[in-house]
């Protein structure tokens, strides 16, 4: 079954759990440059790594792309080098994704204790994006250091819900741009709004709803709940 657009009367959530790269911020230039360097270091074409570079922790991405090629220590060391390169302010621009600044500004003002950022990057990489854009900090940020298993495993989103003290996880809405993140949100028992900012809608078919970007969404707080409505219906 294909995902639907957001309903005109909105989707209600007790908490909003947001992916970072590709959802709130555009770090494509930095991410691709780092992984191209990684491909050169490994002596493989960038095309061998490219399908795995978004939405999955680096060590997991390397094993998926090159099964058995690197041991755990080698994957960890290369991932650390990749993250250092991505976090370098000189490595490229960090930009707001469409609609993201308005959304997080509203959340920080009107739902300050009911949102989280859940990223496959580490604190260093997430911190570089936060600093570059003066992004408002949520009460909870889950990074790769906080979990044993990254997306597409549900642990990152379940950890965020627990930290926000949300007892009924199906009351959460996850916002994601990558298939691994959509899978993580659904495996956690949450509803998922997918954005076609990185992947086509056909790759995000397991989401509950699909829109182009956060520019197509208006976030409101009504009767203590976060409400996501189509921007055109607002």
Residues labelled catalytic: 19, 21
Place of tokens 């690197």: 70
Peptide bond into 152 cis (omega under 30): yes
Report how far residue 151's alpha carbon sits from residue 185's, in angstroms, rounded to the nearest whole number. 9
Tell me whether residue 8 is exposed, middle or buried, using C-beta atoms within 10 angstroms of its C-beta: 0 to 12, 13 to 18, 19 or more. Answer: exposed
Q: What angle do CA 176, 127, 27 make, to 5 degrees?
A: 50
Q: DSSP E strands: which ranges in the chain?
A: 11-13, 15-18, 25-26, 95-96, 115-118, 140-142, 172-176, 191-195, 209-211, 217-222, 225-230
């Amino acid at each position: 079954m294909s995902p639907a657009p957001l309903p005109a009367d909105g989707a209600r959530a007790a908490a909003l759990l947001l992916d970072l790269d590709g959802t709130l911020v555009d770090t494509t230039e930095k991410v691709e440059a780092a992984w191209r360097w990684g491909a050169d270091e490994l002596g493989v074409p960038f095309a061998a790594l490219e399908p795995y570079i978004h939405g999955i922790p680096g060590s997991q991405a390397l094993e998926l792309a090159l099964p058995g090629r690197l041991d755990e220590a080698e994957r960890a060391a290369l991932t650390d080098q990749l993250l250092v390169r991505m976090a370098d302010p000189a490595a490229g621009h960090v930009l707001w994704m469409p609609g993201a600044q308005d959304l997080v500004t509203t959340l920080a003002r009107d739902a300050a204790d009911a949102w989280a950022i859940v990223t496959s990057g580490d604190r260093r990489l997430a911190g570089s994006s936060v600093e570059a854009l003066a992004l408002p900090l949520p009460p909870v940020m889950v990074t790769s250091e906080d979990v044993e298993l990254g997306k597409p495993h549900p642990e990152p989103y379940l950890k965020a819900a627990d930290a926000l003290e949300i007892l009924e996880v199906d009351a959460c809405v996850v916002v994601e741009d990558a298939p691994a993140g959509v899978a993580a949100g659904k495996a956690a028992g949450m509803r998922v709004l997918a954005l076609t900012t990185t992947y086509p809608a056909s790759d995000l078919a397991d989401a509950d709803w699909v829109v182009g970007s956060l520019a197509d969404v208006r976030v409101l707080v009504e009767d203590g709940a976060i409400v996501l409505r189509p921007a055109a219906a607002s």
